[in-house]
Structure 1
């Protein structure tokens, strides 16, 4: 993938026989929507959002989607893998927020400690 243009899988990148049929049925605009959703989700969790960081994030998301697309055995597997990654990121971010809140509470209430 390059930028916002998702390129089709080349002949050298085609999966093993019997696994490729689902890919021909998946529209490229759907893949782009998935990349955009992943990008938006990941962007919310960036501490810095300068142009360089956003460009690097977009490239990372596109590479992850491409790798997932090529590795998935069917469309369900493709969506499952991406969903799990997004859920993992959301959970990770929630844990960071909760942990920073605990640190903040301990700073405001020095007599209270985690047990």
Structure 2
């Protein structure tokens, strides 16, 4: 679905560009000033929250970015703790696969972004 939205957004951008007559300013000057701004944007894995503080020259003095992965971390870990016991009879490969599936339920992007799971099994 996101690919379809991307294609549509590109077509719309080209339509706007092609329709521009050259009248009016393409951009307006924005003077630098101190301030703080907040934002949130939706993604398939959750909401990204961010906050920025700027000084009077417009230079970022502080930024806080809270991605969905960190918001979901405690729940992911709790689910894995409760699920692994039920899957203890699986071999290591199958157990790792089940754990990865559980993690992707929270964060479908994580497996493409990094090698995210290093599983060590200690059986007693």
User: TM-score, normalised to structure 2's length?
Assistant: 0.31
Of the two structures, which has the highest relative contact order with CA contacts closer than 8 Å and spacing of 6 or more? 1
* Structure with more of its chain in strand, by fraction: 2
Q: Which protein is bigger by CA-based radius of gyration?
A: 2
* Structure with more of its chain in helix, by fraction: 1
User: TM-score, normalised to structure 1's length?
Assistant: 0.33
